[in-house]
Chain A
Amino acid sequence: MKNIKITSEKLSVQECEQHVSHDGCGGIVVFIGTVRNSTKGKAVKGLEFECYEKMAVKELDKIADHAIDELGALNVAIHHRTGAVPIGEEAVVIAVSSAHRKAAFEACEFAIDTLKVTVPIWKKELFEDGEVWVSAHP
């Protein structure tokens, strides 16, 4: 079972975890990506996420499919936030359950690593003196 959500509302780690909870699973791995207060020593005020939603849902779906079909995950939930996200709050929550822990760790790492490469979501860092689209330039 997979659950994909893109929302401008605050994310709930508990909700994400509930989506993957299953009597047949022996472990749940949850990754929480949060907004850090600095980047390369410079103070960050907050982040702003923009998303091509139709395609982002499709790409997240592919990631969940791969985690289940190839990596032994039982259930996968991926929730990503859009819009302005303040320091300390969750930008992404990924929960993966599996019969044994190894598959859940591997599938969860695969999910966040792949999300950062393929899913059309863009992050802008807001500073006191300006703003920067993350990873845009080499």
Chain B
Amino acid sequence: MKIELIAFGIARDIVGTGKLVMNIKDSGTVRDVRLELLATFKDFEKLASLKLAVNADYVEDDFQLSPNDEVVIIPPVSGG
């Protein structure tokens, strides 16, 4: 299935765009997205952390994705 990813901050710089579409297996999880990201964009390995949010909440790696989920790449935050 196709998952649309949104990238902010340094994640946007690394993938080179604010939005990208990724193909993962049906009933794939957040872990599948993370592994694909790390395999495609080596610079993600250099970050202090790499989290993913689904529908505006932090989720664990085993969270099962649906095609309409809003998936956002969350590099290390630095507000304040």
* Contacting residues of chain A (94-138) with chain B, CB-CB under 8 angstroms: 112, 115-124, 133-138
Nearest 6 Cβ contacts at the A-B interface: A121-B79, A122-B9, A55-B56, A134-B78, A133-B10, A135-B78
A residues at B contact (CB < 8 Å)? 33, 49-52, 54-56, 58, 80, 91-92, 112, 115-124, 133-138
Q: How many A-B residue pairs have CB under 8 A?
A: 80
Q: Hey, which chain A residues are within 8 Å of B53, CB to CB? A: 52, 55, 120
A80 nearest in chain B by CB position: B79
How far is the CB of A126 from the nearest CB of chain B, in Å? 14
**Chain B interface bracket (under 10, 10 to 19, 20 to 34, 35 or more):** 20 to 34
| Contact between chains at A54 and B56 (CB < 8 Å) | yes
A115 to B46, CA, bound (A): 23
In the complex, B30 has a CB within 8 A of chain A: no
Q: Hey, which chain A residues are within 8 Å of B72, CB to CB? A: 52, 55, 120
Give 11 A-B pairs besides A55-B72, A133-B13 with Cβ atoms closer than 8 angstroms. A55-B53, A55-B56, A58-B57, A116-B77, A118-B58, A118-B77, A120-B77, A133-B9, A134-B78, A135-B78, A136-B48
A116 nearest in chain B by CB position: B80
A124 to B77, CA, bound (A): 11
